[in-house]
Amino acid sequence: AFKKADPTPHAEQAEPTFRTNFFNTVRLCNNLLPMLTCVEGDKARIVNVASFAGSLKILKDTKRRDQLSSIIANGDEGALIDFASEFVADTKAGNEPSKGWPSSNYGFSKLCLIAYTKILAAREKNVVVNAVCPGWCSTDMSSHSGPRSAEKGAETPIFLASSKEVTTSGGFYQDLAL
């Protein structure tokens, strides 16, 4: 996430933000999937670190919202990657408002990650796949302005990665709950 005081123009923030938060996460998950195996009858797990900044409400344009909903319903990972790529290109060109895109590179990258989590969860029956928001933590990313500790933020990701209680996929968690 670029800080508000960062001098990098908004149009130049889209590509590195999406590369880190979405495209490379998708690539890593897909590359690791063939290696994930069950251990002692427990399914393998993927926990994607998302954010409530990526809630669907940031996508105010109903056509874009419907487009994303259709991509998720169809489980079309390629269309999701194209959707995210279109956002990056439109943002680089300064056209995101007129094309119905949200103004937050970070939030939209996390919304795309949540969408990917849902697609992956529906597709991969032998893997428990969920997303998590650690919350606004006091870390370098927040310039230590977050109200919760990094340890508190790590509780739910660790819980999702290790708890035998969590057996369903496609959820979005915070504070140990859906």
Tell me which H or E stretch contains 129.
Answer: strand 127-132
Active-site entry in 83, 87, 101, 106 = 106
Spatial separation of the C-alpha atoms in residues 39 and 136, rounded to whole Å: 33
Spatial separation of the C-alpha atoms in residues 98 and 44, rounded to whole Å: 42
Q: Is 106 a catalytic residue?
A: yes
Spatial separation of the C-alpha atoms in residues 13 and 6, rounded to whole Å: 10
Spatial separation of the C-alpha atoms in residues 62 and 9, rounded to whole Å: 27
How many residues in total does the chain contain? 178
Active site members: 106
